[in-house]
Chain A
Amino acid sequence: MDTGVDLIFKIAIIGVITALLSQLLVNSEKKELGLMVSITGLVVVLFMVVNEINSLFQTIKSVFGL
């Protein structure tokens, strides 16, 4: 339960850091690196979320007998 709330904050922090880094890189004439940072941040966050989605769906399946 608490880990889930933790994960929300983690995702938000990663988002802020990614936005900051990509802005920095884009402003210093390195657009492609900025894009790379954005994509990497998104992939990291998605990896974190996928496990949670899986566990939620398993729980729903077992509770509702799907």
Chain B
Amino acid sequence: MIVKIVAIGIVASILAIVLRKEKPEFAAVVGIMTGIVILTMLMDDIQAVLQSIKIASEKAGVEPRYIALLIKIIGISYITQFGSAIAKDAGEGAIASKIDLGGKIAILLLSAPLLFALLNLIIGILP
């Protein structure tokens, strides 16, 4: 698995270097496609890891709602990083930072209810 990923990465990097001189846009597309292939290969393993985390947390008695939230946040950060790395590779640092901002806001929005629940708990405990 890891050997396959490294091989794909090296070959795609060389292809992108060759293309960058003449047609930088094709180099960007090769980069996108390589990212897609590697992420798709990893998805099964990621699912297995998430499944084991879920099982372990169920045994520990953590509420499944919170673990689902955590997994959602991990997914958002994967997608955000994928997009922003592509934008940065294409030389668009401004767009990349906007994508990062969007990911941060999405994570904040998802975790806000949890944060307020914690705050309410603390306020309830206080005399």
Which residues of A line the B interface, CB within 8 A? 1, 4-5, 7-9, 11-12, 14-16, 18-19, 23, 38, 41-42, 45-46, 49, 52-53, 55-57, 59-61, 63-66
Contacts and interface: CB of A to CB of B under 8 A. Distances in A.
Contact of A53 (B15, B23, B32, B71): B32
B36 A46 contact: no
Interface of B: 8, 11-12, 15, 18-19, 22-23, 25-27, 29-30, 32-34, 36-37, 39-41, 43, 46-47, 50, 68, 71-72, 74-76, 78-79
B23 A52 contact: no
Nearest to B20: A15
A18 B26 contact: yes
Contact of B79 (A18, A41, A52, A60): A60
B22 A60 contact: no
B40 A65 contact: no
A52 B33 contact: yes
Secondary structure at chain B's binding surface: helix, strand, loop or mixed? helix
B26 A63 contact: no
A56 B29 contact: no
Contacts of A65: 68, 71-72, 75
A11 to B, nearest CB: 5
B43 A52 contact: no
A16 B19 contact: yes
Contact of B40 (A4, A11, A16, A49): A4
Given A12-B18, A66-B76, A42 B36 contact: no
Nearest to B27: A15
Contacts of A42: 25-26, 29
B36 A56 contact: yes
A18 B40 contact: no
